[in-house]
Every structure is written in structure tokens, then in C-alpha cells.
């Protein structure tokens, strides 16, 4: 046997693919798959919502409370009065499946949110901002509107599903998902959902007071506020811009022939 020297052959064990080509194929492909899965999950939530009636939800979440909520003392006058106001407003929504609970978060940042099981959270910052009961009633009525359209559950469901999906992908533990889900729930509503909630809120105010005077005055003030003040209004990061809302509300009131003048009810704790 004769030894014939040969050079090692190349290209057998190494794929002839540029690493950047491989990287971009993978990244683009995975993003597409990711988007498809998220859309599918959102669709599943919609289907699930259809099959979980509001009454079941109200029972399921009857005592539920986000873990990171810092509530004021249960004997707080403003908490008591706000709860009374919500009860009065809710009485105009006869078939409401929820027993609405109000909690006051001790944050200085003005905000209000609707959470599963009929839990309405308002911040101390918001209670400091409102100048009449009519203003507060509209904000609360708006949140009632979210319950009626079940937006709160939709956003929360999305939040949970998406953070769960992330947890699976990145391998993080599932702890702390609730907080993230709440966070996403805060900013999850679409423009359409918001204006529907606004219309409902205004109808509730009209039913309670017989007019819609000053219902949107809070937003008029916020619209005029400078940026420095606005930083304290997280409400604006999770709700539409105040200027647009005021215009919409005026149009709705005009359409339905609701009076834009009338007696203003002062806040009970003032």
C-alpha cells in the first residue's frame, strides 16, 4: 500500500451559512412565531371570557386584592364616602353582577383602575385632585363602564398570559407574575374601550344627578396643566388624553340631550 498525502477536505463539517444570515433567519422567524402565539393567546382569552360569565368572575375574585396595594386605613372618611358614592352610582346599573368594593391606594399619583371582582382602586392623589362629587362620580362611572364591558378582565387576562409566556421562554420562575399582570392591566385598554367606558360613565352621572355639568371638569383642568403637574397624574398614562375626552363627552351629552348645567354637589369630606 502506498501512502498518498492529501490535504484535509474543507466544507464537510461546517455549514456554508454566514453566521449573520443564520442569526437573522432565527430572529425574524422566532419573532413571527412569538407574535403568532401572543395573538393566539389573546384570542383564547376572548373565547374564555365569553364562557366565564361576569357572575362567576365576581364570585371567583370576591376577596381578591393585588399584593402590592398600599391601602389607607379602613376607617378613612374618604374611603367610606367614595364607597357610598360607588354604591349610589352602581344602583343605576340594575343588572350589575358585581358587589363593588372601593380601595384607596395611598399613592400621591392620581389614578383610578378597575380590577377583577368589582374592585375599584382610586389613589389618594386622585381624591386630592377632584373638586366636586360630580367630577369624582364621572371617574368612578368610567371605571364602572370598564366592568360593564369587561375590559378589566380582558386586560388582566392578557397580562397574565403574556407574562406567563415570557416566563416559559426566559425560564424565570412564575412568582411575581401577578404584579406584572396588574401593571399590564393598567395600560391595556384600547381607545374604543375607553370611549365606551366614558359614555357609560357619563350616562351614570346623568342618571344620578339629572345633568352632566362639571363631569369632565377634572380633565379640562388636567388638559390645561403644565408638564410638571402632569407627571403626577399617572391616570393620563393609562387613559386617553384629556382634551380629546372632553370633546367626546360634550358631543355625547349634546347627542343625548343631557343638560350641561345644574347643581354641583360638593365632596362630602370637604
Under the binding rule (CB under 8 A), the answer on residue 145 touching other proteins is: no
Name which of 227 and 261 has its Cβ closer to other proteins. Answer: 227
Would you mind telling me the total number of residues written for the chain in this entry?
A: 270
Under the binding rule (CB under 8 A), the answer on residue 224 touching other proteins is: no
| Given 134, 214, 216, 234, the residue binding other proteins (CB under 8 A) | 234
Under the binding rule (CB under 8 A), the answer on residue 32 touching other proteins is: no
- Least CB distance to other proteins at residue 26 (A): 4
Provide the CB-side half-sphere exposure for 227 (13 A, CA). Answer: 0
Under the binding rule (CB under 8 A), the answer on residue 22 touching other proteins is: yes
At 185, list the grid cell.
392591566
Name which of 52 and 225 has its Cβ closer to other proteins. Answer: 225
Residue 230 burial (C-beta neighbours within 10 Å; 0-12, 13-18, 19+)? middle
- Least CB distance to other proteins at residue 255 (A): 34
**How many residues bind other proteins, per CB under 8 A?**
38
Q: Which residues 147-176 are close enough to bind other proteins by CB under 8 A?
A: 169
Under the binding rule (CB under 8 A), the answer on residue 65 touching other proteins is: no
Under the binding rule (CB under 8 A), the answer on residue 77 touching other proteins is: no
Q: Which residues of 52-74 are buried (b: 16+ CB within 10 A; e: fewer)?
A: eebeebbeebeeeebeeeeebee
Name which of 116 and 214 has its Cβ closer to other proteins. Answer: 116
Name which of 133 and 143 has its Cβ closer to other proteins. Answer: 143
Measured in whole angstroms, the distance separating CA 68 from the mean position of its chain's CA atoms is 16
* 119-123 and 112-115 strand pairing: antiparallel
Under the binding rule (CB under 8 A), the answer on residue 28 touching other proteins is: no
**What CA–CA distance (Å, rounded) separates 127 from 146?**
20
Under the binding rule (CB under 8 A), the answer on residue 109 touching other proteins is: yes
Under the binding rule (CB under 8 A), the answer on residue 186 touching other proteins is: yes
Under the binding rule (CB under 8 A), the answer on residue 40 touching other proteins is: no
- Least CB distance to other proteins at residue 23 (A): 5
Kindly list the residues in this chain that would bind other proteins in the complex (CB under 8 A): 1-3, 5, 7-8, 13-15, 17, 19-20, 22-23, 26-27, 29-30, 33, 66, 68-70, 105, 107-109, 111, 123, 169, 182, 186, 227-228, 230-231, 234, 237
Amino acid at each position: 500500500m502506498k501512502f498518498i498525502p492529501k490535504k484535509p477536505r474543507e466544507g464537510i463539517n461546517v455549514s456554508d451559512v454566514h453566521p449573520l444570515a443564520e442569526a437573522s433567519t432565527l430572529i425574524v422567524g422566532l419573532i413571527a412565531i412569538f407574535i403568532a402565539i401572543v395573538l393566539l393567546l389573546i384570542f383564547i382569552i376572548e373565547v374564555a371570557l365569553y364562557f366565564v360569565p361576569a357572575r362567576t368572575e365576581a364570585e371567583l375574585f370576591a376577596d381578591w386584592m393585588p399584593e402590592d396595594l398600599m391601602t389607607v386605613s379602613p376607617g378613612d372618611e374618604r374611603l367610606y364616602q367614595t364607597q357610598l358614592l360607588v354604591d349610589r352610582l352602581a344602583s343605576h346599573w340594575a343588572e350589575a353582577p358585581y358587589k363593588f368594593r372601593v380601595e384607596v391606594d395611598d399613592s400621591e399619583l392620581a389614578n383610578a383602575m378597575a380590577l377583577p371582582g368589582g374592585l375599584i382602586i382610586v389613589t389618594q392623589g386622585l381624591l386630592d385632585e377632584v373638586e366636586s362629587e360630580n367630577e369624582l362620580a364621572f371617574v368612578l362611572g368610567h371605571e364602572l363602564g370598564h366592568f360593564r364591558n369587561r375590559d378589566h378582565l380582558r386586560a388582566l387576562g392578557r397580562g397574565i398570559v403574556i407574562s406567563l409566556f415570557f416566563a416559559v421562554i426566559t425560564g424565570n420562575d412564575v412568582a411575581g407574575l401577578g404584579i406584572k399582570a396588574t401593571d399590564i392591566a393598567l395600560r391595556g385598554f384600547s381607545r374604543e374601550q375607553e370611549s365606551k367606558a366614558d359614555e357609560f360613565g357619563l350616562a351614570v352621572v346623568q342618571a344620578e344627578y339629572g345633568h352632566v355639568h362639571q363631569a369632565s371638569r377634572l380633565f379640562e383642568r388636567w388638559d390645561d396643566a403644565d408638564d410638571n403637574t402632569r407627571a403626577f397624574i399617572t391616570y393620563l398614562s393609562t387613559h386617553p388624553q384629556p382634551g380629546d375626552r372632553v370633546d367626546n363627552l360634550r358631543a355625547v351629552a349634546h347627542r343625548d340631550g343631557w343638560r350641561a348645567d345644574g347643581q354641583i354637589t360638593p365632596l362630602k369630606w370637604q
